[in-house]
Structure 1
Amino acid sequence: MTDTHEEPTLGQKVAAEIIGTFGLVFFAVGSAVFSQTLGQDSYVGVALAFGLSIIAFGYAFGRVSGAHFNPAVSIGAAMGGRISWSTAGIYSLAQIVGGLLGGGLICLIMFGFDGYSFGDFPLGANAFGDASGSGIAMWAALLVEFIATLAFVWVILGVTDERAKATTTHAVLAIGFALTLIHLALIGLTGTSVNPARSIGVAFFSGEDAIIQLWVFILAPVLGGIVAGLTYPLLFGRDGEPVAGSGLTFGGGPKAPQQFAGGYPAQQWGGQPGQQQQYWNQPGQPHPGAQQWGQQPPAAAPQPPAQQWGAPEQAQPQAPEQQQYWSQPGQQPAAPEQQAWGQPAPGAAPQQWGQPAAGDEDEGHTQIRRND
């Protein structure tokens, strides 16, 4: 039995992004909320929960959607030419839905604790200033979130680069470890976002202050993803042709022209746009139907197959005025009417280049005659 690998449908990709983002928010942010509620909070444990969530769901759904689970990652991938902007928009909406589902479930479980009331407890929401407990200023929160997202998306683009064959099999592990590292560094400052879907998912269940400050944790990661997607191919080159409708092209855009292995455009010189793809003739192997030097353009009536440059014509009488071709080295014309330009007639002395032909001395110049 032959295995068949079908391309995932758009619905499957959307489902993968919703489920993966839901798992990230519920299990990772939930670990922070529940441990804090029970008085057992730990930076290391929460950071590991984020990294392990990415690893688990990344291995599960990476083959389906690429396992972005983060609008900043999708935007960076679109800017870097990996996916189209339309796909990035659909993914981002799916990720926000998954984040809201995860945050909503955390909120629902919190109602199981006595004394909990909606909006009075920050359910893992990102914050700055007094709301975060660290007192970090708004501009500093913007800066650290921007830098952290920039580094995170760089890591993702690097380990998923098709040229990185030694690391692509462990890309999900590298991404999970990177997210763990970022959370270990930033949890005490802003609660660590680097993911607008994660921030949106819990902000609307955490009270008015979380919603007011939410814009910082949307803007900074989005800018970080854009800059990462723009600079990665500039710094390290592309791993292939950009996807149509990606990068700085926000529409469908024309597809990149096909190329030879040497990098030259596949369309033959002189061809018209939209023609069938043509290639250069190999020596002795003319392309079928290709027009040779010196022949007339094909008329509406059917024409005989094109003659290769330099080969004698076959079964076609030559008019005296028709142009002859250069003969191949060592090849003799079959008949006078097939004599190549510049070759002496049979039995005649070889004529040197630039010397007048016999009977033409009085003309004062070299004359090209046709054979009568």
Structure 2
Amino acid sequence: MKKLFAEFFGTFWLVFGGCGSAIFASQIAPSSGGQLGILLVGVALAFGLTVLTMAYAVGHISGGHFNPAVSFGLLAGGRFTAKDLIPYIAAQCLGAVASAGALYMILSGSGTPDFSAPGAFASNFYGDAVYFGKSYSMQAAFLAEFLLTAFFLIIIMGATDRFAEGKFAGIAIGLALTLIHLISIPITNTSVNPARSLSQAVFAGEHAMSQLWLFWAAPILGAVFGGLTYRLLLQTHTAVPAGE
């Protein structure tokens, strides 16, 4: 149960910190007033910091997945057991939805939220010109989410490998998630995490829910690919020398 609570709170923090920064702080005042908020770079950093901080806070308890795709990827990579997969995903989704509920309650304190636009409430999207007047097709969004999640798993497995310097794993993983968001916020609002996508779609409504399938399928498939790639092509099987 401690592992599941760790996954619940870790995913809660990821959504609250990452999506919360996008909702409340990404543009706190008109640019004409000289106050730009934290913008894309700040939101990307916020997502990375949530994973970094929780990796050190509870990672030693549950492994610090906070993401159904990561759980699938680690299973494919031989770092996770199948019997724990469904409980972990349930805990992650519950934590994410609970966090989104808290964000919704806070946002409602300033009036009735309007979630009519694509990407509202930090939800994920494809095929809509949300940033810079550009839209990306379903195929482009799928490929971006697939590749970014695959590399995320390669980084996670490499950083936590028994031959790696484990004390810095949380930093590498947190910075990887920051980089992922810097690349893909303009494309899809960045998922690479089905629980994070689910939580925002539940409150954002029909448009986000209709596109949610992609933000489960692409990250999970990408994670499995990344986990298998590391396991079969990169992981060393050399015996650990005596005394190490």
CA RMSD of aligned residues (A): 1.9
| 1:86 Cα offset (Å) | 1.6
TM-score, normalised to structure 2's length? Answer: 0.89
Q: What residue is the counterpart of 2:49 in the other structure?
A: 52
1:25 maps to 2:15:
yes
1:237 maps to 2:235:
yes
AA in 1 matched with 2:88 = Y
Equivalent residue of 1:170, what SS?
helix
| 1:41 Cα offset (Å) | 5.0
1:136 maps to 2:136:
yes
Deviations 1:195-244 (A, max 9, x none): 10110111110121000011111100000111111121110235599xxx
Identity %: 45
* Structure with the bigger percentage of helix: 2
- The verdict on how the C-alpha distance between 1:60 and 1:137 changes in structure 2, with shifts beyond 3 A counting, is same
Q: In 1, distance between residues paired with 2:129 and 2:208?
A: 8
Q: What residue is the counterpart of 2:3 in the other structure?
A: 13
- The verdict on how the C-alpha distance between 1:99 and 1:34 changes in structure 2, with shifts beyond 3 A counting, is same
Query: Structure 1: which 5+ runs fail to align?
Result: 1-10, 242-260, 262-372
Indicate the structure whose relative CO is greater, using CA pairs within 8 Å and at least 6 residues apart.
2
Write out aligned runs for 1:194-343 (5 A). 194-237=192-235
- The verdict on how the C-alpha distance between 1:44 and 1:137 changes in structure 2, with shifts beyond 3 A counting, is same
- The verdict on how the C-alpha distance between 1:216 and 1:137 changes in structure 2, with shifts beyond 3 A counting, is same
Q: 2:83 aligns with which of 80, 83, 86?
A: 86
Q: Do 2:129 and 2:136's aligned partners in 1 also have CA atoms closer than 8 Å?
A: no
TM-score, normalised to structure 1's length? Answer: 0.59
Q: What residue is the counterpart of 1:153 in the other structure?
A: 153
Equivalent residue of 1:223, what SS?
helix
Computing the radius of gyration from Cα coordinates, the structure with the larger value is 1
AA in 2 matched with 1:195 = N
AA in 1 matched with 2:70 = V
Deviations 1:163-189 (A, max 9, x none): 22xx21100000000000111111111
Q: Do 2:47 and 2:178's aligned partners in 1 also have CA atoms closer than 8 Å?
A: yes
Q: In 1, distance between residues paired with 2:5 and 2:159?
A: 24
Query: Structure 2: which 5+ runs fail to align?
Result: 30-36
1:123 maps to 2:113:
no
Q: In 1, distance between residues paired with 2:237 and 2:203?
A: 41
AA in 2 matched with 1:194 = V
| 1:120 Cα offset (Å) | 3.6
